[in-house]
Every structure is written in C-alpha cells, then in structure tokens.
C-alpha cells in the first residue's frame, strides 16, 4: 500500500482492513455492501499477496546475489490443499487478519472455506512434496518445486447409492489468487519426429532431433511462504499450450492429418492428473506429461544457470541439485544429457559426470505394479533421441559396471539392464533412476532397508554408498498449528511458541502427561474438535454420531494393501457380537473412513460400496443402541483431513507389513493426539519407537513373518475354516443382509480374500487386529490412562517434522547452505 514505508513490510490490523477494502473495490470491482464471501476471500488474498510478493522479490534478489546452490524438486504431483490459512500463519498474520475481518463483519474461517483445494496430487507422495517445499522455505534453503499445472486435479468424489462417482475437479474455474502467470519464461518443448546424424567436415558427428511437433510450456508460479515469512520460494507449474511456432513441413512429413486434433492434443497434456496412485498407467499421454514438465524444468534450470555462468558448465553440478520424486520425472536424466550433448556440445563423459552429480532419486513404493516401465516402441516414437541416449547409458553401465562385478554373467545383465527384453521390450525407469543418480533413498527405515535388500540388491552391491534413508515428515504448521488451534495454544503455554519450528520441544509436554488438570485440558480440546466434526459429519452425510464415542479414523487412498477391508471385517464382527449379545461390553465407537479409489480399480470401488452398505445397515439398527456407527466421508482431500485429524481418537495404520513405504497420515494423527492401531510397517515402526510401543496398539505379522508365511504358501482357507467369526463375517457378504433384495453384491470382497488368495494377508492378521481393538477399548474406558497415552503420542512426534526430513536430505544428499533473506 502506498501509505506504508517501503522497507517496513509488517502490517497492523488497521492497515490490513484498509488493504482488504481497497482490494475489494479496486481489484475485485465490488464494494462492501454487495460483495460475496468469495469476493471478500479474494480481496483478503490480494491484501496478503502484497506481503507475499514483497518477500518473494527480496528472496529472489538475495538468491541471485549470493548465487548459491539450489535444490530443484521435480514432482508430477504437489498436493497443496488450501493456501489462505497456511500463508497467513506462515506470515504471522492469522490473528491480525482474523480480527481485521471480524471488525469488517466477516469470519476468516468461513472465508477460508471459499477456497477450492489445490488437489494436484493423488495422496502421500504429492502431499509430501507440499510439506517439503514448506520446510525448504522455512529453513531458508534456495529451492524451487517443479511440476504440472493440471487444469483438473484429482477427481471430486461423490457417493451415489453407496458407490463412488468421479466428477471433474475444477479448482481454478473462478480464478486462483495464489498463482502468477509468467509469460516471460515460456518454453518450447519438442516431441515426436526423428533423429538425424550429421557429420561435419572435421569428421565429428552430431545428432539432430527434428521434432514432429512443438508444445508451449507456460509457467505458473505459486509463492511458497516459509514459516516466519522471510523466505518465499516458488512452486513453478507448467501448463501446456499449442505452439504458434508450429513446424508445418515436419508436421506434414510426419504424415499427420488432423491438425485441429493435434492442437487440442497439445492443450490436453496438462489437462488432468492421472488418478492412479499405485499402478503405473503406461499411456502415451502420461509419458508426454512427464517429459513435458521435465523438459520445461530443465530448460528453466539451464536458463538460470547460463544467466549467471554463461556456457561454462564446470560449476553446474555444484550449483544445481535435482531431486526426482519417484520415477515419474526420470526422463529428466536423458533430457539433461541431451541438452548437454546436443545443444551445449559437451562430450559424453563430461555430460554424464554432471548428470550423475546432479540427480538423486526417492523411491516411494515396492509394489511391483507401481514400478514404471515404458514400452520401447512408445518411447521411440515420442522421444527418439532420448531412447538413443538411454541405450548408450545402458551399454556403458552393463559393459563397465556390471561386467566388472559379474564378468560374463548374462542373467544378471538381463536383470539390471534398463531395457527389459521380452515380447514387448520396455524401459525400466527405476533402473535408469538408480544408474543416473548419485543417491537413492527410501522414505522410512524399514522401507529403505527393503529398497536395498529386495528391490535393488545388485545395484546396492555395485554402489553400497548410493543408498540411504530419509524418513518422511509433515509440516507442523499445517498439521498442528493451523488445523488444531486450541491444542497449538495449549502447547504455546507449556513449551513456548517455538515448537512449530522445533517440534522436539513438544517433549516438554511429557512432564504433564500424568497431570490430571492438564489431561482434562487436553481431552476437552479433543472433545471440542470432535463436536465440530460431529457437525461436519451431519452436514456431509446426514449421519448422527455422538462425541462421547471413540472416533476411530482410517483416511488414505483405497488399496488392498492398506487393508480397509480388514477394518470392515472387524466392524462386521463387532456388529455380529453386538447382535448376539446386546450387552456386549464395548465403549461406543464411530468408525470413520475417507478414501478415494482409482477409477479403474474395481475391487477398491467394491470396498467403498461395501463400507457404505454396512454403514447404512449398522447405523439404522436400533438393536445395537448406537454402540456402533460407521461413516464414509465423501471426497476425502487435504481440507477434509484438516477437520478429521484433530478429532481422531484412534488412527488406523493397518497395512500388511512391508507394503506401506512410510505413511504420513500416521504422523499427523499421532501428532494430534490419536493412538495408533498399526502394524510394524513403514514409519509406524518409528512412531512406536518414539512414543513407546506400550502407547500404541501394535498388532499383526512383521515384515519377516509376512515373507515367511508367503514362502510357506499362505492359505486363507485355513483361517476361514479355523475361525468361526471370520467364516461368519465372510459368508455374510454373500447374503442380502446389507443389500436387501440383492444378494451377492458384496461377494467380490469375500472372493478376493478366499479364491483370490488374500494377497495382503487380511485373514492372517484378523485375530491379532481384533485383540488390539479390545486393548484400545479397555484403555479408553480408563480416561486418565487414555489421556496420558494420547498426550505422550502427541508430545513425542518431534522426529516427524518435515523440517527434520529436509535437514536429512540436505546433510546426506543436497549439501545446501541456508540463505537468510533480510
């Protein structure tokens, strides 16, 4: 605002009020009398943006002046959620803004509800990227996130007659105040075409890629405000457009006919996020999406490097670090090679040395169906030059590295090759990542061990120091400070206000874990959070639940390995016990689910249907006297998680051991005082270590026991015939008890667990899961015991601050220097 001194960017309430009204009138073109909530929200965002932009400029000036090494975080997904409350908190403006708006007759929390979630991700992987860029800015590291500017994020889920329906998500239909288009940084991206080998008179040889088409990449910048507000980094998301520099000759030579369709195809690239979380899609468009955002990002990185260093690439690897968030951005490796070789004229060894130093790769899954492989023919058609480069990377790797360790061993060469031979030859992106990166990390201790021992054992033998662990974390700013304000201020009182930066300080709360008065305060905050959620549940589903009950929450993507079906089996068993004995001794429980299924994942959708059908029957059965309720919350997303997590008593983390790489919801729930019922899988192991296993309900087979049981030949019928409760519950699926008049509608779940072989050992873990639930029930009925455990869980989650994860990346992989912005 004009009235403010240029150097002073702090803001008081009156200035903020004036600024909001100013923007309401001159940016939104309306006035106080007739403005909608939506306009007030946008005016507020515009006022906040004055602060954001000033700090963004200062950050960029500082980074440019200091010319320090920066991390470039490449990810096909950034699951940002909403930004308003987050930005206000990180700028320390939340309270002031709340008061300013109240004086204007408005409610900040209501205005925040106007914002659509930025759902540009599927789940954990995308949300991790969002937490990481928050932490990078908070710790003042020079960093930029690169991704895709999807027009439609993850589908909106509606539930119709119990079934999931996918609807398009149009998050920016009416504009988004947090993004800035940067036409000055547009890029041109080639695709298709052919490679020509050109010989010069001096005998040297050059490769020229004649692209079949060119796509324009338009960057949209989302400022990423660090906590404390001094560093504002950017998240740069690329949008595809048809290029006006279209090469009609090549186009015609390529034999294409329908130019309008081709134009539409260009704009299709960033249209929609693929909604598959743990299965690889193998579709041409997906490969193009990956190449498109990687190529745009590499060009952007090059442009910035050359602006400071010209064409001297000797310092490139000391200035640039690139992190690959799973294999989705792998094509950045051959792309950087191509640019260095074909455009900058480096020789192979120089180019490879740079690539190898620059790239690092994070693995997020061991599931075989999630490991990306691209058909060679597809690669050849879309990216002919890259395929050549990949062949050469592979040839050198096999003949130099593999041959040195296993001379003459063709079987091992076939296994480690980037190219999978067979009816359809394929490019294995995981192998390319490992070969082209100087570090490879898993996301929790046990997962990183399995990455080395089971997924890439031979690579670990070649490069033992390449593999490392960085346990995931979550930002305590969003996942405690902003989403659970009452608990946050209680912690302010006990340990001071530094905990959002130093989450380990919460251990200072441990001394209060036995204090009755503190326990009361803690549990009454939980109670109020639950009462708020009761209203949300009523509004969203029409279901009445009582805050007296235990709120038992499973929120995550739907997948067999995450075992929502195990939770459901147990709910049905409880229901049966209650029907058999209406006085069955248990504290009332509300089981709450939030989950989206990949649209093509039939069984996952059947499980959602089953949960909803069981919910209908259970919730309307007067015989069980409200002891059991089941709620499926539609359209699970970041902003809904922010309402569910502070209200949870029990956190369901029940994946088959060895399958959940880490989990991050487990961390958020425990941080907010939920007790974990969980297997010894992923980060659950580390959570139990921190909190103490006696304060969690750990159950089930361990990783080694799962392996052993599978090796022996697991037979689910042993459990079906050996356990009458399991048999009764599974047989229930075949009846019409939950789907009156339509028997068999739920049978696919039983079939998967019996005929399908129960791949994820749900039946094997059922008994132990049921016992763990009994233990939780008994604990809950001792309010002081429960309060103590809940407090201990929350107070010991300091390790799972994403700032710690980022510092681990910096120490082990990125070697960045923190760069304070004035």
Phi, psi of 531, rounded to the nearest 5 degrees:
-65, -40
Q: How far is CA 220 from CA 138, 145, 181, 238, 275, in A?
A: 21, 11, 4, 6, 22
Closest approach, Cβ 582 to ligand F55, in A, equals: 40
Which range, of 117-125, 218-226, 452-460, 586-594, touches ligand F55 by CB under 6 A?
117-125
Catalytic residue among 556, 577, 596, 605: 556
Q: Is 430 in the site for ligand F55 (CB under 6 A)?
A: no
Which range, of 246-254, 362-370, 497-505, 687-695, touches ligand F55 by CB under 6 A?
362-370
Site residue total, ligand F55 (CB under 6 A)? 20
Nearer to ligand F55, 560 or 745 (CB): 560
Q: Is 443 in the site for ligand F55 (CB under 6 A)?
A: yes
Nearer to ligand F55, 365 or 679 (CB): 365
Nearer to ligand F55, 661 or 776 (CB): 661
Q: How far is CA 704 from CA 433, 443, 463, 597, 680, in A?
A: 28, 19, 25, 29, 10
Q: Is 365 in the site for ligand F55 (CB under 6 A)?
A: yes
> What is the end-to-end Cα distance of the chain in Å, rounded?
20
Catalytic residue among 668, 750, 773, 789: 668
Which range, of 121-129, 139-147, 720-728, 800-808, touches ligand F55 by CB under 6 A?
121-129
Which range, of 140-148, 363-371, 382-390, 591-599, touches ligand F55 by CB under 6 A?
363-371
What x/- string results for residues 509 through 548 when contact with ligand F55 is judged by CB under 6 A?
A: ----------------------------------------
C-beta neighbour count of 584 within 10 angstroms: 15
Q: Is 370 in the site for ligand F55 (CB under 6 A)?
A: yes
Closest approach, Cβ 721 to ligand F55, in A, equals: 33
| The only residue of 11, 16, 28, 125 in contact with ligand F55, by rule CB under 6 A | 125
Q: Is 138 in the site for ligand F55 (CB under 6 A)?
A: no
Determine whether 364 is an active site residue: yes
Q: Is 472 in the site for ligand F55 (CB under 6 A)?
A: yes
Q: Which of 271, 133, 146, 117 lies closest to 596, judged by CA? A: 117
| The only residue of 364, 596, 605, 643 in contact with ligand F55, by rule CB under 6 A | 364
Judged by CB under 6 A, the chain residues 267 through 286 that form the site for ligand F55 are 276-278, 280
What one-character DSSP code corresponds to residue 347?
Answer: -
| The only residue of 128, 139, 366, 558 in contact with ligand F55, by rule CB under 6 A | 128
Closest approach, Cβ 128 to ligand F55, in A, equals: 4
Phi, psi of 743, rounded to the nearest 5 degrees:
-65, 150
Phi, psi of 373, rounded to the nearest 5 degrees:
-140, 135
Q: What is the 3-state secondary structure (H, E, C) of 285-307?
A: HHHHHHHHHHHHHHHHHHHHHHH
Q: Is 123 in the site for ligand F55 (CB under 6 A)?
A: yes
Nearer to ligand F55, 432 or 615 (CB): 432
Determine whether 466 is an active site residue: no
d(CA 753, CA 730): 9
Nearer to ligand F55, 333 or 355 (CB): 333
Q: Which of 663, 637, 659 lies closest to 651, judged by CA? A: 663
Catalytic residue among 664, 679, 739, 796: 664
Determine whether 664 is an active site residue: yes
Catalytic residue among 69, 236, 364, 385: 364
Judged by CB under 6 A, the chain residues 695 through 754 that form the site for ligand F55 are none
Q: What is the DSSP string of 63-131?
A: HHHHT--EEEEE-S-EEEE--HHHHHHHTT-HHHHHHHHHHTT--HHHHHTTSPPEEES-SHHHHHHHH
Rg (CA), the chain: 27
Determine whether 415 is an active site residue: no
Residue 532, Cβ density class (10 Å: 0-12 exposed, 13-18 middle, ≥19 buried) = middle
Q: How far is CA 290 from CA 177, 270, 295, 320, in A?
A: 26, 10, 9, 20
Closest approach, Cβ 663 to ligand F55, in A, equals: 5
Is residue 675 within 8 Å of residue 649, measured between CB atoms? yes
Nearer to ligand F55, 140 or 472 (CB): 472
Nearer to ligand F55, 185 or 279 (CB): 279
Determine whether 625 is an active site residue: no
Distance of CA 292 to the CA centre of its chain: 21
Closest approach, Cβ 127 to ligand F55, in A, equals: 7
Closest approach, Cβ 287 to ligand F55, in A, equals: 12
Q: Is 124 in the site for ligand F55 (CB under 6 A)?
A: yes
Closest approach, Cβ 616 to ligand F55, in A, equals: 30
Determine whether 160 is an active site residue: no
Nearer to ligand F55, 124 or 594 (CB): 124
Give the residue carrying structure tokens 């009020």.
17
Closest approach, Cβ 420 to ligand F55, in A, equals: 18
Distance of CA 251 to the CA centre of its chain: 38
Catalytic residue among 127, 478, 526, 557: 557
Closest approach, Cβ 604 to ligand F55, in A, equals: 14
Nearer to ligand F55, 243 or 662 (CB): 662
H helical segments located in 119-224: 124-138
Q: Is 325 in the site for ligand F55 (CB under 6 A)?
A: no
Q: Is 371 in the site for ligand F55 (CB under 6 A)?
A: no
Residue 387, Cβ density class (10 Å: 0-12 exposed, 13-18 middle, ≥19 buried) = buried
Closest approach, Cβ 123 to ligand F55, in A, equals: 4
Which residue's beta carbon is nearest to the bound ligand F55? 124
d(CA 147, CA 179): 14
3-state SS class at 676:
strand
d(CA 67, CA 305): 9
Q: Is 595 in the site for ligand F55 (CB under 6 A)?
A: no
Nearer to ligand F55, 122 or 612 (CB): 122
Q: Which helix (H) or strand (E) holds 440?
A: strand 439-442
d(CA 542, CA 535): 9
Is residue 120 within 8 Å of residue 79, measured between CB atoms? yes
Nearer to ligand F55, 193 or 663 (CB): 663
Judged by CB under 6 A, the chain residues 646 through 665 that form the site for ligand F55 are 660-664
| The only residue of 223, 485, 682, 716 in contact with ligand F55, by rule CB under 6 A | 682
Nearer to ligand F55, 278 or 606 (CB): 278
Beta-strand runs (E) in 154-254: 156-160, 163-167, 180-181, 187-191, 194-199, 205-210, 213-225, 232-242
Closest approach, Cβ 124 to ligand F55, in A, equals: 3
d(CA 329, CA 332): 6
Q: List interacting residues with ligand F55 (CB under 6 A).
A: 122-125, 128, 276-278, 280, 364-365, 370, 443, 472, 660-664, 682
Catalytic positions, written as ranges: 364, 556-557, 562, 664, 668
């Amino acid at each position: 605002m004009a009235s403010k001194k240029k150097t002073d960017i702090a803001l008081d309430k009156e200035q903020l009020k004036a600024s909001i009204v100013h923007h309401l009138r001159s940016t939104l073109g309306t006035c106080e009398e007739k403005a909608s909530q939506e306009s007030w929200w946008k005016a507020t965002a515009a006022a906040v943006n004055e602060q954001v932009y000033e700090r963004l400029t200062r950050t960029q000036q500082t980074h440019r002046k200091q010319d320090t090494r920066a991390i470039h975080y490449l990810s096909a997904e950034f699951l940002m959620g909403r930004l308003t409350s987050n930005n206000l908190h990180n700028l320390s403006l939340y309270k002031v803004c709340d008061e300013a708006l109240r004086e204007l007759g408005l409610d900040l929390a209501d205005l925040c509800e106007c914002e659509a979630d930025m759902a540009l991700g599927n789940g954990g992987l995308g949300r991790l990227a969002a937490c990481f860029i928050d932490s990078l800015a908070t710790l003042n590291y020079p960093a930029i996130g690169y991704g895709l500017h999807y027009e439609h994020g993850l589908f909106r889920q509606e539930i119709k007659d119990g079934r999931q329906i996918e609807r398009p998500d149009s998050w920016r239909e009416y504009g988004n105040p947090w993004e800035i288009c940067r036409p000055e940084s547009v890029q041109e991206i080639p695709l298709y075409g052919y490679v020509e080998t050109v010989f010069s008179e001096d005998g040297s040889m050059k490769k020229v890629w004649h692209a079949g088409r060119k796509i324009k990449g338009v960057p949209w910048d989302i400022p990423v405000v660090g906590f404390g507000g001094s560093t504002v980094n950017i998240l740069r998301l690329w949008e595809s457009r048809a290029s006006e520099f279209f090469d009609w000759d090549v186009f015609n030579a390529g034999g294409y006919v329908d130019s309008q369709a081709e134009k539409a195809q260009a704009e299709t690239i960033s249209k929609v996020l693929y909604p598959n979380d743990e299965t690889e899609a193998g579709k041409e468009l997906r490969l193009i999406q990956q190449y498109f955002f990687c190529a745009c990002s590499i060009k952007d990185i090059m442009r910035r490097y050359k602006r400071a260093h010209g064409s001297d690439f000797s310092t490139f690897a000391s200035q640039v670090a690139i992190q690959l968030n799973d294999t989705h951005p792998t094509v950045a490796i051959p792309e950087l090679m191509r640019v260095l070789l074909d455009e900058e004229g480096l020789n192979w060894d120089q180019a490879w040395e740079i690539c190898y130093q620059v790239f690092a790769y994070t693995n997020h899954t061991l599931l075989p169906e999630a490991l990306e492989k691209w058909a060679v023919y597809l690669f050849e058609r879309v990216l002919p030059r890259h395929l050549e480069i990949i062949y050469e990377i592979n040839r050198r790797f096999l003949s130099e590295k593999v041959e040195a360790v296993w001379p003459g061993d063709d079987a091992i060469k076939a296994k480690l090759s980037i190219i999978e031979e067979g009816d359809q030859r394929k490019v294995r992106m995981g192998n390319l990542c490992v070969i082209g990166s100087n570090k490879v990390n898993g996301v929790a201790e046990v997962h990183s061990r399995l990455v080395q021992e089971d997924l890439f054992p031979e690579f670990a033998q070649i490069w033992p120091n390449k593999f490392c662990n960085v346990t995931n974390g979550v930002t305590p700013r969003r996942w405690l400070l902003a989403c659970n304000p009452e608990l946050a201020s209680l912690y302010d009182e006990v340990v001071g206000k530094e905990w959002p930066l130093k989450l380990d300080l919460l251990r200072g709360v441990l001394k209060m874990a036995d204090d009755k008065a503190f326990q009361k305060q803690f549990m009454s905050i939980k109670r109020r959070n639950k009462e708020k959620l009761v209203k949300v549940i009523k509004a969203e589903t029409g279901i009445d639940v009582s805050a007296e009950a235990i709120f038992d929450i499973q929120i995550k993507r739907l997948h067999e390995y995450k075992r929502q079906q195990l939770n459901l089996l147990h709910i049905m068993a409880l229901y049966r016990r209650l029907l058999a004995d209406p006085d069955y001794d248990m504290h009332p429980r509300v089981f709450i689910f939030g989950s989206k299924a990949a649209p093509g994942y039939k069984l996952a959708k059947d499980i959602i249907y089953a949960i909803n059908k069981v919910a209908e029957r259970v919730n309307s059965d007067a015989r069980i006297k409200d002891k059991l309720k089941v709620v499926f919350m539609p359209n699970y997303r970041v902003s809904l998680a922010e309402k569910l997590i502070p209200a949870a008593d029990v956190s369901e983390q029940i994946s088959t051991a060895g399958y959940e790489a880490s989990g991050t919801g487990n961390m958020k729930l425990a941080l907010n005082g939920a007790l974990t019922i969980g297997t010894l899988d992923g980060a659950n192991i580390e959570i139990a270590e921190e909190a103490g296993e006696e304060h969690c309900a750990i159950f089930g087979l361990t990783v080694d026991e799962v392996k052993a049981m599978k090796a022996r030949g697991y037979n689910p019928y042993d459990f079906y015939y050996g356990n009458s409760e399991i048999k009764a519950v599974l047989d229930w699926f075949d009846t019409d008890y939950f789907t009156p008049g339509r028997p068999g509608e739920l049978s696919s779940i039983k079939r998967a667990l019996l005929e399908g072989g129960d791949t994820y050992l749900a039946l094997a873990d059922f008994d132990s899961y049921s016992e763990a639930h009994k233990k939780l029930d008994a604990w809950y009925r001792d309010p002081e015991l429960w309060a103590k455990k809940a407090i201990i869980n929350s107070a010991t989650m300091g390790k799972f601050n994403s700032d710690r994860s980022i510092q681990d990346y910096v120490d082990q992989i990125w070697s960045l220097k923190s760069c304070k912005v004035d």
